[in-house]
Amino acid sequence: MMLIDSHAHLEMPDFKKDLEAVIQRAKESGIGYIFTVGTEKRDWKRTLEIANSYSSVYAILGVHPHHAKEIDGETYPILQKLCRDEKVKAYGEIGLDFYRNLSPRDIQLKRFREQIGFAKEQGFPIVVHDREAHQETLEILRSEKASECGGIIHCFSGDYEMAKVCMDMGFYISIPGSITFNNAERFREIVKKLPLDSLLVETDSPFLTPIPFRGKRNEPSYVRYTAQKVADIKKVPFEKVAEVTSENALRVYRLESLL
Ligand SMILES: [Zn+2]
Ligand SMILES: [Zn+2]
């Protein structure tokens, strides 16, 4: 039995003191692989350093919508170089965050489009972040022909119709720990209807800690609570969820050789 945490941020300062122990605990909990996402320029080197220090960790690099305004003439040449590292398996997370709006919306839209093009040139699937920007996200995925690269809608928060459109474009839907929250009944109803063949599980560590650890720092070993909740909702064995979501993750990250 293996589980995969398809999305975490191990390079964030929250893990500075005990990264080794965090990765060890994940291993002991049956987490075979962790995909860690470097979201801004100052993190990318550290992301690669971690991925290259642990055989169970792979890397994803890109510019998060929060940092879209920081993209300049140097950004893409640097990324192009770093993305040649063989531990990099996807480009992201990219997209739109109209909840926090840490970059102006017009810049987020422009850089999202641009980064889809860049990911395609580099030959990577994309990891999409969409917070309170469902319509705009779908519009850009369509118009930029994101079906040509496919990828993952991470921390999915849209409705069933949106999930369907994304799946039709070749995207997987990644389920975070918030599925365990008491007020997530609507989200659970959506997940119940989604085919297991299109689902991944993730922690988004250090954020979105599932129950029973809500309020504490999240870490990859907790992805099992999310997988257990998916199993409960769908009334299938935990082992089945672990097996299928792991296969899905390895497929989208083009690591079928690890299956
Ligand atoms: Zn995100
Ligand atoms: Zn993230």
Digit-coded pLDDT (tens) for 102-133: 999 999 999 999 999 999 999 999 999 999 99
DSSP calls for 171-194: EEEEE-GGGGSTT-HHHHHHHHHS
Distance from the alpha carbon of residue 94 to the mean position of ligand 1, in angstroms: 8
SS3 of residue 79 by DSSP: helix
What is the reported pLDDT for 78?
98
Measured CA to CA, the distance from residue 38 to residue 248 in angstroms comes to: 22
| Ion ligand 2 residue ranges (Cβ < 5 Å) | 204
Average pLDDT, the chain: 98
Residues 36-51, buried b or exposed e (16+ Cβ, 10 A)?
A: bbbbbbebbeebbebb
**Cα 240 to middle of ligand 2, angstroms:** 25
Q: Do 206 and 236 form a contact (C-beta atoms < 8 A)?
A: no
Ligand approaching nearest to the C-alpha of 8: 2
Average pLDDT over residues 185-198: 98
**Cα 35 from Cα 88, distance rounded (Å):** 9
- Model confidence over 14-58: pLDDT tens digits? 999 999 999 999 999 999 999 999 999 999 999 999 999 999 999
How many other CB atoms are there within 10 angstroms of residue 69's CB atom? 14
Examine the pLDDT at 219 and tell me if it is beyond 90: yes
Q: What is the pLDDT of residue 1?
A: 86
Average pLDDT over residues 228-255: 98
| C-alpha 61 to ligand 1 mean position (Å) | 12
65 C-alpha to center of ligand 1: Å? 9
Nearest ligand by distance to the CA of 206: 2
Instruction: Tell me the per-residue pLDDT of 66-83, one tens digit each, with 9 for 90 and over.
Output: 999 999 999 999 999 999
Cα of 93 vs centre of ligand 1, distance in Å, is 6
Rounded to whole angstroms, the Cα distance separating 259 from 252 reads 12
**How far is ligand 2, taken at its centre, from the CA of residue 93, in Å?**
7
Rounded to 5°, the CA angle 249-242-51 comes to 45
Does the pLDDT of residue 189 top 90, yes or no? yes
This prediction has a pTM of: 0.98
CA of 9 to the centre of ligand 2 (A): 6
Ligand 1 centroid – CA 4 distance (Å): 17
Tell me how far apart the alpha carbons of residues 205 and 207 are, in angstroms, rounded to a whole number.
5
Centroid of ligand 2 to alpha carbon of 81 (angstroms): 22
CA of 195 to the centre of ligand 2 (A): 23
Chain-centroid distance of CA 226 in Å reads 14
Provide mean pLDDT across the span 217-240.
Answer: 98
pLDDT at position 177 over 90: yes
User: If you measure from the C-alpha of residue 73 to the centroid of ligand 2, how many angstroms do you get, rounded to a whole number?
Assistant: 24
**Cβ 171 vs Cβ 151: under 8 Å:** yes
Contacts of 87 (CB under 8 A, 6+ apart): 48, 51, 52, 57, 58, 59
Interval between CA 11 and ligand 1 midpoint (Å): 14
Beta-bridged to residue 172, according to DSSP, are: 152
